[in-house]
Amino acid sequence: KLVAVIMVGGPTKGTRFRPLSLNVPKPLFPLAGQPMVHHPISACKRIPNLVQIYLIGFYEEREFTLYVSSISNELKIPVRYLREDKPHGSAGGIYNFRDQIMDESPSHIFLLNCDVCSSFPLTEMLDAHKSYGGIGTILVSKVSAESASEFGELVADPTTNELLHYTEKPETFVSDRINCGVYIFTPDIFKAIQDVSSNRRDRANLRRVSSFEALQSATKSFPTDFIRLDQDILSPLAGKKQLYTYETLDFWEQIKTPGMSLKCSALYLAQFRHTSPHLLATGDGTKSATIIGDVYIHPSAKVHPTAKIGPNVSISANARVGPGVRLISCIILDDVEIKENAIVINSIVGWKSSIGRWSRVQSVGDYNAKLGITILGEAVNVEDEVVVINSIILPNKTLNVSVQEEIIL
Ligand code: GDD
């Protein structure tokens, strides 16, 4: 039997995702019309003998109740949300719930970060892991040398794939092979985490014998229950024939900013052509809008037949798109209204916002730049004939004049 754990983090972790994380926990923000966490969950569903999926995080229980019960019904696999009372770090988080995770006596545990976009080649990883042995296998991807320092950089043996060296976000370049935040472990991972935690406790106790002040500083820098998977577990286990790597040549991205969510939405829409073609709009029939490339339209959204939509557009529930509207590379969230002849390009339009007649909401579409994507927060009202370019508009604003390169607070 196999189980999967998806780390969803908590509210403090989503700050770079503002203003979109003001309304919805980042793991539930829609990419290609499905909550972010839905994509790793669907990938887990494709693993044979997977019996249980756990989401671990420190968001309020109620934020996930609805999603977890609907996805369990839909996929016919139990999905449970396990809430930490406070952050314990990526390894501390799973260690905290080891009894629940081991409930079904799984032979292997998949561990996935929620904020990565990938084809999640989990079955291939499992096969590779079984051939290597050891306690875990890490999914690895090649990135540009300039961006590598944003990730865990690693070096693996080219023939055996053993992890030889691991450094988390190093200041000087180590390698363009990085940790994708997707792992498979045997239950021995809990032993490895336990060793780190008891080591720390011993050290703290030793210091207590020597001086009370030292104890205070020791417990401040090493709280025994906060354990990071990367620095505290992967680094020390590298080069000990315990960890191995599996490199993917398929797409992989990290989703830390709203701009990246637009890019990842495109990647997932493209993947739907193979995995879920029924989710893509076809534009067949005389009564439907013109569809170009990969587009998702929620069944409850109303799109006028004279609108032209795509590529890379996803339109969420109850949105209304008027006559002559043109949408290119954008995420339109629930209950948005876009009036006649408006144009939206390279932008994210927040819940309940409205865009007036002949208005333009657009950006250069630079996913990594601060104002590279235009974002309207919740309930922003862009009046008729207003142009919004490369800007971020916080919730509940009304724009009656055009803006460019601005953050409207
Ligand atoms: N439940 C829970 N509790 N989740 C957590 C906690 C915690 O205390 N801390 C982090 N997470 C979750 C985050 O929500 C995220 O999904 C994942 O664990 C990793 O988050 P971070 O520890 O903040 O690391 P990171 O995202 O900056 O980098 C990690 O992922 C990269 C790939 O995206 C590292 O493992 C890098 O090496 C890796 O390249």
To test the ligand 1 pocket, which listed residue (5, 6, 7, 138) has its Cβ within 8 A of the most ligand atoms? Answer: 7
Q: Are 270 and 319 in contact (CB under 8 A)?
A: no
pLDDT-based confidence at 21, cuts 50/70/90?
confident
Q: Are 55 and 80 in contact (CB under 8 A)?
A: yes
Q: What percent of the chain has pLDDT over 70?
A: 95
As a whole number of angstroms, the distance between CA 188 and CA 151 comes to 25
As a whole number of angstroms, the distance between CA 183 and CA 110 comes to 6
What's the pLDDT at 17? Answer: 85
The two tokens of residue 28 are: 């539930």
Q: Residues with beta carbon inside 6 Å of ligand 1? A: 7-9, 13, 56-58, 84, 87-90, 93, 113-116, 151-152, 168, 178-181, 230, 254
> Of 2-11, 23-32, 204-213, 351-360, which gets the smallest average pLDDT?
204-213
Please give the residue that has the higher pLDDT: either 276 or 214. Answer: 276
pTM higher than 0.90 for the full model?
A: yes
CB contact set of 44 (below 8 Å; sequence gap of 6+):
4, 6, 50, 53, 77, 110, 112, 120, 122
Distance (Å) from CA 234 to ligand 1 centroid: 13
As a whole number of angstroms, the distance between CA 87 and CA 90 comes to 8
Average pLDDT of span 377-399: 97
Q: Which atom of ligand 1 is nearest to the CA of 181?
A: 32
Write the pLDDT tens digit of every residue in 175-186.
999 999 999 999
What's the pLDDT at 15? Answer: 77
The two tokens of residue 115 are: 């904020």
What is the average pLDDT value for the chain, to the nearest integer?
93
The complex's ipTM works out to: 0.98
Write the pLDDT tens digit of every residue in 298-349.
999 999 999 999 999 999 999 999 999 999 999 999 999 999 999 999 999 9
363 pLDDT higher than 80: yes
